[in-house]
Amino acid sequence: MNKFFLETNELVSSQMDIPSYAFPIEPRPGEGVPDLLMRATFENGFSGMRVVNLMLGYAENTQWSHSAMTARTIDAVAIGKILGVKEERILELLYGREPGPVNFFGAKISPFILGRTRKISPAHLKQKGYQKAIWSLRCFSFDPENREKLVDQCSCGVRLTFERTAALAFCNYCGADLRELETSNVDIADEAALQFFLSLIDPCADRSREWNVDDSLRQFSRGELFTLIVESAKLLNLQATGRKDTKLGENYIIPHTFILGAANSVLNWPNGFLDMAISIEDSRVTNCRRSKTHPLVASIPRNFKDLRWFLRKELNILFGKGKRVRFHYPSTSIAQVDHPPIFYPKAVKLQGKALGLPLCEVLNLYQIGSVQCPDRSLGLLLGAPANAPLLNIESFKENPSAEAKGLPIFELVHASRSSKHPWAHVFAAILNGEIKVRWQPSKGNSNWFSKCLFTTDEARVRKICQSRGSTLSPDTEISIDDLLFYFRMMRTSRAILRGAGVIPPGRLTLNILWELQERYMTFQDIKTHLLVKGMPQFPNFLGRDLDSSGLRRIVPEVRLYEREEAEAYLRAFRS
């Protein structure tokens, strides 16, 4: 029978003498080389893939799974000769050889995503008579066209492979018709996420649709975005199952629910993605536990260098090393209590230093659109307007005043209310010209922008401060150094108050700060109130007067007073 269906039964080493099947076939949509060879073998009357190895002069146990296709060089000319197909058509279907990404119908992917076992959709096999290459991907547990769950073993329990299956549609062990195997359909909860995912990898997908992906992702190829989704889904699955080891068996398949979740997160970049990254970080797998690298960055194959570098930069906003702040992101789905601290990019730190404001106030300036965030990823996370004006404080310094008229903005804001000072809104009004100021270089060591501004428009500053408080979340974290900006005192005084328990140990938040401000007044607060009232005092004279007035200190070593008593002192003060 073999001699009848082969044009020749003599195997020779020359490609010109490689035998061909009697009945040539044409590739069908989405069909890969292993699928094509199996169908051709079946339609030409042979019972297994062993005949292909004989025709090519290969060892009898040579495998033809999709994964095996990346482990050796495939001769497109010889395959085309056997099938009666032009070499160019075969070349389009070849993956290339590992190491490194392989070409899956135009998408560069990791070879490890290709599985070794055979999976089928019984209904598709019955209706159309061929199998698809996309079924071989570990991330597909169903056929994307009919949504039927893929089957990887016969009802007799024998696992399907390209070597053990006697024919395209029959089990070689029990003879069962694979087209009649019982299975079910999957429920797709997010059709848009599925279609986006298919557009990246399915050879039969309609790629004419324009997807509204974030501009920062458009630099990446279909294969890179596919890899990002698959590796994210794998980690989400590990998290859900409680596994801590990424060493997975060859039959491992990623459930479709995690694929859809990861695809949706990429579509909702950056907040949706960061939401997912946080949950992945919270359940680190073992091979990342000792590393400071986020598990997702570590899971991306090293050949995808650009993608790894990009993810590392994006995730550094939340997981980088350095000073951070717990901040409120208005457009994310994460509950405020679960917000991880934000890492400050270098450009943000520089702007905070130039402005002389705590970094949380700088982030607030970005959020309200007064200053353009210098880090695009952070700006997206904060929901900051992309078209906000650039920060330009040099224009304020062009005509410095030796003796500026009016009151210092810094002192005026502090004296305007007891707590929740709207620093961002005051500085927004300064930067847009609503509040007229003059810049006078400090006579001391600090030339912070915030401490060198003077204004005669005191009424406007007071109006802003009294009509609105800080829009920052009370859960926003501040550093111990930020405390010196809000709750003014010497560093030694701060340490004494912390040691005495007045300033609580651990992380500080704006809520803790505001409670301190509502309860106490510092020596500098009292001095500021007198300055704003037009009764400036020398520190030594004021200190002696405070002591002689009987005003009680909270801690003997620090001039910190109960607010009610300090305000009574101010009301009774006479210059």
Sign of the C-alpha dihedral, residues 259, 264, 270, 271?
A: negative
Please tell me the distance from the alpha carbon of residue 181 to that of residue 499, in angstroms, as a whole number.
73
Q: What pLDDT, on a 0 to 100 scale, did the predictor assign at position 228? A: 96
pLDDT at 339: 58
Secondary structure of residue 211 in the 3-state scheme: coil
Mind listing the pLDDT tens digit for each residue in 420-465? Answer: 999 999 999 999 999 999 888 876 656 778 888 999 999 999 999 9
456-480 burial by CB neighbour count: b if 16+ within 10 A, else e?
A: ebbeebbebbeeeebebbeebbbbe
Residue 190 CB partners (closer than 8 Å, separation 6+): 260, 261, 263, 264
| Mean pLDDT of all residues in 303-318 | 88
Q: What is the pLDDT of residue 573?
A: 78
539-562 tens-digit pLDDT: 888 889 888 888 899 999 999 999
For residue 81, pLDDT over 70 is answered with yes
Give the number of other CB atoms < 10 A from CB of residue 60. 9
Residue 246 scores a pLDDT above 80: no
Cis before 99 (ω within 30): yes
The span from the CA of 454 to the CA of 370, in Å, is: 20
- For residues 29 and 203, the answer to whether their CB atoms sit within 8 Å is yes
Looking at per-residue pLDDT, the higher value among 448 and 258 belongs to: 258
Instruction: Give me the mean pLDDT over the 527-539 stretch.
Output: 89
Are 527 and 575 in contact by the 8 Å Cβ rule? The answer is: no
**Can you tell me whether residue 167 is helix, strand or coil?**
strand
Return the pLDDT at 481: 83
Q: CA distances (Å), 196 to each of 55, 146, 205, 210, in order?
A: 41, 17, 10, 10
Of the listed ranges 1-5, 119-123, 194-198, 249-253, the one predicted with least confidence: 1-5
**Which residues contact residue 348 at a Cβ distance below 8 angstroms, ignoring those fewer than 6 apart?**
359, 362, 363, 373, 374, 375, 378
- For residue range 395-426, what is the model confidence (pLDDT) as tens digits? 888 776 666 678 999 999 999 999 999 999 99
